[in-house]
Structure 1
Amino acid sequence: MTTLKTEVRALVVGGGAVGTAIAYHLAKAGWDTMLLERDELTSGSTWHAAGLLPLFNMSYATTHIHKYSVEFYKGLKDETGLDPGFFVVGNLRMAQTQERMDEYMLYSATAETAGVYHEFLTPKEIKERWPLVRTEDLKGALFHPQDGYINPADVTQAMAKGARQLGATIERKWQVDGYAWRGDHWEVTVTRMEDRGGNLVPTGDRATIRAEHVVTATGNHAQRTARLLGIRIPAIPVEHQYVVTEPDPALVEWRKTNPQHPVLRDADAKWYVREERGGWILGPYEEGAPARFQYGVPDSFRADLFPLDLDRIEKEYMSFIHRIPSSEHVGLKDDFNGPICYTPDGNPLVGPAPGLRNMWLAEGFSFGITAAGGTGYYLAQMMTEGEAEIDMASLDPKRFGGWMTTEYASRKNEECYAHVFILHHPDEEREACRPLRTAPAYDRQKAMGAQFGQVNGWERPNYYGPKDAPADYDHFARSFRRAAWWPYAVEEARAIRNTVGIIDASAFTKHLVSGPGATAFLDHFTCNRLPNVGRINLTYALTDHGTTRTEYTIVRLKENEYYLISAGAWTAYDSDFLLKSAEDWMAQGGGHIDIHDVTTQWGVYAMAGPNCRALLKEIVRDADPDTVLSNKRFPWLSYRDIELGMCPVRAVRVAYTGELGWELHHPIEMGRYLWDLIWSVGEKHGLKPVGARAQNWLRQEKSYRAFGNELGRDATPLEGGLDRFVDLSKDFRGKAKMLETGIRFRCVTLLIDGPADADPWGREGIFLNGERVGRLTSGGYSVAFGKQIGMGYVRPDLATPGTRLQVRMFRELWNAEVTPDSPYDPENARIRADG
């Protein structure tokens, strides 16, 4: 008979560093928590991890996670009595090129807004501190003195002990074999495992655990977890190898009178190095490391390793010898080649599982030791309080849609591994698995010079470069400053301001919501009043904490039929929230609601510019083509079903760029026909194809907020300056919490007198008299004002137009001024223009 506890509030599955950190923080929050591990604690990737704790990360959310981990680990010994083996030696990230230094300066902006301390060092300063390092070919380095490395097994055991002290139960040798949702709890079927001849095999001892919430932190076993849950989890391991050298006599001599070297990273050579018992650990991130266990980990694979492939890392090993010449004649003592999970974008999957209730994922950690503590902290907040104190949407598991396959995830994860140390340009677009999802006019756009980005798998033009550009043009057009694409985006922006431009926006997320309960549901689900039939409105769905969960353009087709348009990058994220909210509404007695994701059924061309109406008049089919697009028959913020040539179009009079314009929603299979039809008359009206980068600049001139930038789960619509889209006369989800939160900060638009060769990217700090008072969330160039522009959040007392502030770019402060909202055409005369 088993004595396993069979009822808990939270069940954590997986006993690596991530799982134990989650169990610790749930227990600390007062939840009855149990952790199950199929083998021994740390028997997954944790045991062979190098234990590095890099604070460096370009993601705002992940930076906070890493920062929390580093501080949390420092207090574990005092709390638990177990030493986690944290060596605070610092982290030196070297740069061989100015481009790499530019990357570090952009990172510096992100780190500064998150409160992560760092320093910049010259080659001379590096050599003075650490003479074993060759520096004559370096430009400098970024130094984090407060991080270092830790013993992965020890920190995991310390967190496990801390979890037990807080009341959590930890059980080893229990494997989960099934999950069943029973309406208000999970029934989790588990089997006792035992060692038998070196293999881990099931016994006849089985049990069922009733859990209100389940968290999976199953590491390399994520594909098995996905099959048990009936979902897709694009977390697949990639081989990572590192070698340990024999003692280096020069290092041994150095250590007689000096402290440890920091963790050394030569990003341009694609490796890290740290000291290990008088020698060195070298960890390369080379090309060609293969994905493993795409369909599950074999039962025979426990705390095992793969054969080393030294040929694959020869280039990195030679560059290590170059950087630390004393290592040339030092032999190899040990080697490791084990699986480490990756995801297609390199960030972990943290948050609610798609389509499931009370099921939480914590999977795909390529830097699991660094992220474990912070993941436990913020995920526990999401589970116990409803939201984390930072916006975790960038790590949400639903950022990858149902179109993703095993092969896609495998190839992208391999690419992600090889890209750990590449230059991470803000305009970076990775090439693996592309093109995959294409709109019908893709080939037409490519022939026009379109350089594409990928959004939720869709190919979307970022800008239109030279028509005869080589295939790898965009790769060499990137920079941390104004790159080769910049003049093309400027001309595209000017075309929309002066003539007319066309943007392929087919990636927009689109939902059809209908049924007798649709109107009452949407009225409560969103914060603005619903539009009348034939009209549209911009509105927001809020979290239960009153912050912004999703932005919608709502088109009211009929009395109880609505067409919802939201951001293209967030289809599964929006769909999951919409469906679950509607299910809850109906369960509480609301009328029946039908919801359909119609994203792939409708293509979208956004056309805008002063010549837009004249162009469309030539191809519209109507009894009176001269007036069908007039303000009288087709006013701003309305929709009409029209015909353009042979194509039926759901035309929506709105323009994200702030000019006269329409969104032309059309049956996606007619996208090529409609594209050709528009271009058959377009050139005489000055039509120009326009990409996403110019559109991003133009929307900032109108102070249009963007979801994922200005809008997210860490600010309310009122803090976002969206008062006119909030109807306080009605009841809606999150209203009370929104009002209770008040105004902690305000979203503003800034015009910036910045450097002549660069624009802000939306990650920079905002300052007043040397004190950081906010941060940018968007940035770019304004063709209307001939200077840099940005949007971001500042203290409420600084949000008044005319307030003079500064923005830090490339380590210098540049003057900026808060403008009134919509500095370009504040009266909306151009977007309302008649004709």
Structure 2
Amino acid sequence: MKTQVKALVVGGGAVGTSIAYHLAKAGWNDVMLLERDELTSGSTWHAAGLLPLFNMSFATTHIHKYSVDFYKTLEAETGLNAGFSVVGNLRMAQTKARMDEYMVYATTAETCGVPYEWMTPAQIKERWPLVNVEGLEGAIFHPTDGYINPADVTMAMAKGARQRGVMIERKWQVDGYHWTGEAWEVTCTKMAEKGGNLVPTEEQIVITAEHVVTATGNHAQRTAKLLGIKTPAIPVEHQFIVTEPDPELVAYRNAGGAEHPVLRDADAKWYVREERGGWILGPYELNAPARFRFGVPDSFRADLFPLDLERIEEEYMSMIHRLPSSETVGLKDDFNGPICYTPDGNPLVGPAPGLRNMWLAEGFSFGITAAGGTGYYLAQMMVEGEAEIDMASLDPKRYGDWQSNDWAVAKNEEAYEHVFILHHPDEEREAARPLRTSPAYDRQKAAGAQFGSVNGWERPNYYAPVGFDDHASRSFRRGGWWQYAVEEAKAVREGVGLIDATAFTKHLLKGPGATAFLDWFTCNKLPKVGRINLTYALTSAGTTRTEYTIVRLAEDTYYLVSAGAWQAYDSDFLMKAIEDKMPEFGWMSCTDVTTQWGVFALAGPKSRDLLKTLIRDADPDSALSNKRFPWLSARQIELGMVPVNAIRVAYTGELGWELHHPIEMQNHLWDALMKAGEPFGLKLVGGRAQNWLRQEKSYRAFGNELGRDATPLEADLPRFIDLSKDFAGKAALEAKGVRSKCVTLLIDGPEDADPWGREALYDGATRVGRLTSGGYSVAFGKSIGMGYVAPETAVVGKTLQVKMFDKLWEAVIVEDSPYDPKNEKIRIDG
């Protein structure tokens, strides 16, 4: 057994074997996989093997599609049949809202090349007469997927990996990780059978690996403790039952009837598929408990929990309603096993926080579906530096160190319950909230704030009258909140609005090496002292890794502001870069000060007049003028008794300031602003209106237009790139050229709906791109969106079509910043 390898994969389920296979396929010749028991002995062995392509996430849809396509090639390569039954996937809908969900999803599927068909209840009945279509509105059908044997596909990938040189060792448990500064020393203990249990022996080895990937499934909590990190990956019970053969099903198949697709009645919260003449029912019921919150007991191997039939009675009766022939069929087998979950239901894939060359592939609630694609894209990240798609939405660092075990349990149980609950794009899940709140939270709540959760922070989405029901207002079209967001957006354009932006990520960088480092780390010129600049840190592939607003406080002191949703993600990237470059550039320190500073954004044509009443200055009338406080500058001012780092910038595109203040003084400042704002008609504004307003200015958003699949040049931001200097990622940025281009579009869409930012774009019958943002424009009285198209298509005035609710709607490409293109309103003096 080798003790020195290029890459060590820990975990021998479907995910781990796929990663090992794809690393070898990508050219790494020295790869080893360790499994503490037998291959497939974790959740893989009791998985139902379904391959649902349905997913609202662009990245996850790509991952699932790759898996479905890849599994079909394994037999030709390995000679092993992976047991893939391509029967399709029929997702039924009992309500019009559910059909709306499918149509919102379908346009995302189109952007990823996933085929689908629409079916009426009559068409369903004609093809599968055993299905009771009573109460159905229709269905979406995926003809290319179905189900697979989890053990068979894992063994096929394992054989393919061995054929490519991967060493697979069983009965070895990892008990320690140590980073030497150059490689990982992984302590491994030989395991042995004893009385039906798996127990450690005295035999130990240390394997040195340049890279380590953990794919430990239900053991993710133990893995996190060994690594000294936190993870929200905790299993939840999932039950499914297998019936005896159904005589009517057997007769139907014997008469030549086609095998049923995987049936999903989302409104009834279950899936069903055929199994040897009978049925498998898999419910996603309420009150399924999390298990192994602190780790899997040593005695638990390929074990199961007792079945709780009472908990799934409603779903079982619903299956009988939808498949009446199953009513008299007995139960043949049952399974109730742990399936690992995360708070948003998506896996944790990417670099581990704070660690070098340590990669996580944990928290797979749909592990069989995601295994193939995860191996493919993670191998790209490890071998090439980046994947061809933006994997940030799956990054383990999307959850910071503020997370706790209780929080993860509550959110994972909620995620399980939400598998088949309507996935409104404007949904806000309520479990474990509120948790992270700014001091003004209670004041905002009393004023009617309806909150969203961003990186655990409570942030107002919009403000509504007391008693308004946010949950009941959600829709795939314009929800009940829409009218309030319109009023808020108009207030910023016409008067003055106040937005809480406390969740912004904030870092303080200083020291003799800070300037040289930051000049290399980012692609724009650095601002002068007292000024600010928008800039980007790039990946090794030249794509956008992070967007920063840089405020230069002194010659070697910088205040960095980035997206609030990405605090740990940005901090990890920044700190590792500083550690790498400090020997070259000189000493510097960097501190995450996110929780030390609150932020209020005040914006609108009346914002200067309001602030004049609060600023403490010898000449308050001129203190905020263009001469003393120009656009894109920063000053320390006093508003009443509160010292404020004020930045003259506004994400809404109006005259405005960001008011960065000591967090402990937030309520005092809030009260002062609210009182001073009364004569000016100050309106409280939430994140949804702000999102619309920034699209009228074509301001790109990180995680939407900006990400690791496009360069800043492709985002059409050459003015923020200084090609006269050297910076990280420059060569790759220039080598890529412009493969696609970001544009803004005004859309003549449905009267009752706006795009959500995940829709396909067409030029006639040809799909030419996709939206990355969408919403409503109060300035133009119609829908608005931003997205990517081929460079030759990105022509101002060109008419395209956007796919919404299974129809094509006219969308015209407009000049960047269609609202106030010359920035006259931002620069207005006074």
TM-score (norm 2): 0.99
Q: Which aligned pairs between 1:455-534 and structure 2 lie closer than 5 A?
A: 455-469=454-468, 473-534=469-530
**AA matched with 2:138:** G
Work out whether 1:640 is the aligned partner of 2:635.
Answer: yes
**AA matched with 1:77:** E
Work out whether 1:157 is the aligned partner of 2:155.
Answer: yes
Q: Which aligned pairs between 1:138-537 and structure 2 lie closer than 5 A?
A: 138-256=136-254, 257-469=256-468, 473-537=469-533
- Secondary structure (helix, strand or coil) at the match of 2:388 reads coil
CA distance in structure 2 between the aligned counterparts of 1:78 and 1:728, rounded to whole angstroms: 48
Q: CA deviation at 1:268?
A: 0.2
CA distance in structure 2 between the aligned counterparts of 1:412 and 1:495, rounded to whole angstroms: 36
CA distance in structure 2 between the aligned counterparts of 1:382 and 1:798, rounded to whole angstroms: 30
Per-residue displacement from partner, 1:662-713 (whole Å, max 9, x unpaired)? 0000001111111000011212101000000000000000000000000000
Q: CA deviation at 1:136?
A: 2.2
Aligned equivalent of 1:539, options 515, 535, 539: 535
Q: CA deviation at 1:467?
A: 2.2
CA distance in structure 2 between the aligned counterparts of 1:186 and 1:501, rounded to whole angstroms: 52
Q: CA deviation at 1:800?
A: 1.5
Per-residue displacement from partner, 1:227-270 (whole Å, max 9, x unpaired)? 00000111000000000011111101111111210000000000
Q: Which residue in the other structure is 1:751 paired with?
A: 746
Q: Which residue in the other structure is 1:721 paired with?
A: 716
CA distance in structure 2 between the aligned counterparts of 1:212 and 1:336, rounded to whole angstroms: 39
| Residues matched between the structures, number | 828
Work out whether 1:619 is the aligned partner of 2:614.
Answer: yes
Per-residue displacement from partner, 1:175-223 (whole Å, max 9, x unpaired)? 0000000111000000000001101001111000000000000000000
CA distance in structure 2 between the aligned counterparts of 1:769 and 1:273, rounded to whole angstroms: 39
Q: Which residue in the other structure is 1:657 paired with?
A: 652
Q: Which residue in the other structure is 1:699 paired with?
A: 694
- Secondary structure (helix, strand or coil) at the match of 1:268 reads helix
- Secondary structure (helix, strand or coil) at the match of 1:564 reads strand
**AA matched with 1:634:** F
Q: CA deviation at 1:714?
A: 0.4
Q: CA deviation at 1:591?
A: 0.4
CA distance in structure 2 between the aligned counterparts of 1:665 and 1:710, rounded to whole angstroms: 26
Q: CA deviation at 1:468?
A: 3.2
CA distance in structure 1 between the aligned counterparts of 2:102 and 2:580, rounded to whole angstroms: 46
CA distance in structure 2 between the aligned counterparts of 1:120 and 1:569, rounded to whole angstroms: 36
CA distance in structure 2 between the aligned counterparts of 1:737 and 1:801, rounded to whole angstroms: 28
Gaps of at least 5 residues in structure 2 are: none
List structure 1 segments (4+ residues) > 4 angstroms apart after TM superposition: none
**AA matched with 1:111:** A
TM-score (norm 1): 0.99
**AA matched with 2:802:** V
Q: Which residue in the other structure is 2:737 paired with?
A: 742
CA distance in structure 1 between the aligned counterparts of 2:37 and 2:406, rounded to whole angstroms: 28
**AA matched with 1:260:** E
**AA matched with 2:505:** T
Aligned equivalent of 1:23, options 20, 25, 30: 20
**AA matched with 2:789:** V
Q: Which aligned pairs between 1:66-105 and structure 2 lie closer than 5 A?
A: 66-105=64-103
CA distance in structure 1 between the aligned counterparts of 2:697 and 2:24, rounded to whole angstroms: 47
CA distance in structure 2 between the aligned counterparts of 1:51 and 1:597, rounded to whole angstroms: 43
CA distance in structure 2 between the aligned counterparts of 1:176 and 1:679, rounded to whole angstroms: 57
**AA matched with 2:268:** A
Q: Which residue in the other structure is 1:552 paired with?
A: 548
Aligned equivalent of 1:812, options 802, 807, 812: 807
Q: CA deviation at 1:627?
A: 0.8
Per-residue displacement from partner, 1:136-186 (whole Å, max 9, x unpaired)? 200000000110000000000000000000000000000000000011100
**AA matched with 1:504:** D
**AA matched with 1:793:** Y
Per-residue displacement from partner, 1:577-626 (whole Å, max 9, x unpaired)? 00001111114x22011000000000000010000000011111111111
Gaps of at least 5 residues in structure 1 are: none
Q: Which residue in the other structure is 2:768 paired with?
A: 773
CA distance in structure 2 between the aligned counterparts of 1:213 and 1:127, rounded to whole angstroms: 53
CA distance in structure 1 between the aligned counterparts of 2:333 and 2:118, rounded to whole angstroms: 34
**AA matched with 2:96:** Q
Per-residue displacement from partner, 1:335-378 (whole Å, max 9, x unpaired)? 00000000011000000000000000000000000000000000
Aligned Cα root-mean-square deviation (Å): 0.5
- Secondary structure (helix, strand or coil) at the match of 1:827 reads coil
Q: Which residue in the other structure is 2:11 paired with?
A: 14
**AA matched with 2:341:** Y
CA distance in structure 2 between the aligned counterparts of 1:632 and 1:333, rounded to whole angstroms: 81
Per-residue displacement from partner, 1:292-340 (whole Å, max 9, x unpaired)? 0000000000000000100000111111111111111111111000000
**AA matched with 2:35:** E
